[in-house]
Amino acid sequence: MTIQTAAPTPVTATPWLALGALGLATFATVTTELMPSGVLPTMSRDLGVSTAAGGLLVTAWALTIVLTSLLLVRSTSAVRRRTLVVGAMVVVAAANVGTALAPTFALAIGARIAAAGAHGLFWAVVVAYAASLVDPSKVGRALAVVLAGPTFAGLVGLPAGAAVADAVGWRPLFASLAVVVVVVAAVVWTVVPDAPRSAAPAAATGGWDRSAKPVLLTAIAGGLVLVGHFAVFTFVAPLTAAHVGDGAVPTMLLVLGVGGLVGTLVSGQVVDRWPGAAYPVSAALFVASLAGLALGPTYWVVAAVWGVLVGLFPVALQSRVMAQASPGFRDQAGAIVMTVLNLGLALGAALGSAVTAVADVVAVPLWAAALAALAAVPLAMASRSARDAG
């Protein structure tokens, strides 16, 4: 028998203020995640390591999330959602202080590992939390608001942080980030309605949650698409240079950023209007856009489509997973998506590196598209499994 606590009753009016606060929270935490990439040379030099070794600050973050997200979600299932989200943000803030004060590279890595664990837990919970605040017919729009945070973190947070670091140094930057995260955490605590602890999943009471299989298959399909995406994105600078010249790289990054913003803005309406089709169609378009990046004459058009899908696809994926997951499995489903996302990042970069080692960089999009196309298999299996579970 599955023991469940009552879920919060969704309100008729969409709580935009609460969703906006959660969007600010995702902005603050993802800015923390991305920041070493913007200050890596200076940070590595000050900590006495090479830039290549400094890259471990990024690798350790992703690996920590892969290894800890599910475990942390299960071990905190008795904690109320607002307390858990705010608590995770406080840990991220404290770890930012630790990073700012770290006298050695080892201690800086330790602080980043602590932040990554809290970040993974935060992200596993925040999507289900946001979905619980609205009517099921508005989940797409709710998640679009919350998931706008990462888009703005890349467009605004990272370049602004890099500018601050250039002016005053990376240590004051991380100290400032700690303050930002704490302030946003206070806003979340003040304006976001509380929610009970997560309903206990069947697995915790001796059974197997029936929604686990379709959720896992859907996440695997998304993971394959993300492997293809990160394989190309990791090498987007040399790929763009090969097709249209070195001087076009900043323009390409701008196209992707603006496209991602547009995709995020329209994603809620798209997902809520076509809840069944949004995820598989966006996945198919993602595969097509990756393949199209191998074609020089249409590069800019395809790049614009790719950018829009970068903003649209995560909302479609998360909405599909939330729709498939039982109330007791939603937080664990969020952890599965976080794990898949970070595996996709690592494996995608590895795929791109392997292809460029044996072929020209212009071959990367075709290999990436071929691998991403395999998502059709788990996607079909997930649809069948969801019908059986329902």
Q: What is the CATH number of the domain that holds 269?
A: 1.20.1250.20
Same domain as 380, residue 295: yes
pLDDT digit string (tens) for the chain, length 390 residues: 233 333 444 445 678 999 999 999 999 999 999 888 778 888 989 999 887 788 788 878 888 998 988 889 888 888 888 999 999 999 999 999 999 999 999 999 999 999 999 999 999 899 889 988 988 888 888 999 998 998 888 888 888 888 898 899 999 999 999 999 999 999 999 999 987 655 554 444 445 678 788 888 999 999 999 999 988 887 888 888 888 887 788 788 788 888 988 998 898 889 888 988 899 999 999 999 999 998 878 899 999 999 999 999 988 998 898 888 888 788 888 888 888 888 887 888 888 888 888 888 899 999 999 999 999 998 888 877 666 655
Answer with the one of 191, 225, 251 that is the final residue of a domain. Answer: 191
Outline where the chain has alpha helix (H): 16-46, 51-54, 56-75, 81-101, 105-132, 139-146, 148-152, 158-168, 170-191, 212-234, 236-244, 249-273, 278-292, 299-324, 330-358, 364-373, 376-389
Which of 125, 131, 134 lies closest to 26, judged by CA?
125
- State the pLDDT at residue 5: 37
Which of 234, 268, 253, 228 lies closest to 148, judged by CA?
268
Same domain as 161, residue 121: yes
Answer with the one of 191, 225, 257 that is the final residue of a domain. Answer: 191
Same domain as 316, residue 169: no
How far from 117 is each of 1, 108, 123, 204, 348, CA to CA, in Å? 31, 14, 10, 22, 22
Same domain as 308, residue 249: yes
Amino acid at 361: V
Residues with Cβ within 8 Å of residue 357, at least 6 apart in sequence? none
Domain with 160 in it: 16-191
Same domain as 102, residue 158: yes
DSSP-based three-state secondary structure for 319: helix
Asked if the structure places residue 7 within a domain, the reply is no
Same domain as 289, residue 184: no
Tokens of 204: 């915790």
Q: What is the biggest distance separating any 2 CA atoms in the chain, rounded to whole angstroms?
A: 62
Q: Are 369 and 290 in contact (CB under 8 A)?
A: yes
- State the pLDDT at residue 27: 96
Q: Residue 50 gets which letter from DSSP?
A: -
CA angle 123, 172, 118 (to 5 degrees): 20
Q: Are 29 and 119 in contact (CB under 8 A)?
A: yes
Same domain as 361, residue 217: yes
Whole-structure pTM value: 0.79
Same domain as 331, residue 244: yes
Distance CA 219, CA 275 (A): 16
Asked if the structure places residue 283 within a domain, the reply is yes
Same domain as 113, residue 33: yes
Q: Are 330 and 131 in contact (CB under 8 A)?
A: yes
What DSSP line would sit under 358-389, residue for residue?
A: HS-GGGHHHHHHHHHHTTHHHHHHHHHHHHHH
Tokens of 81: 């959602």
Distance CA 241, CA 244 (A): 5
Number of domains present in the structure of the chain: 2
Same domain as 378, residue 277: yes
- State the pLDDT at residue 199: 53
CA angle 176, 180, 183 (to 5 degrees): 135
Question: What is the b/e burial string over 258-292, where b = at least 16 CB atoms within 10 angstroms of the residue's CB?
Answer: ebbbbbbbebbebbbeebeebbbebbbbbbbbbbb
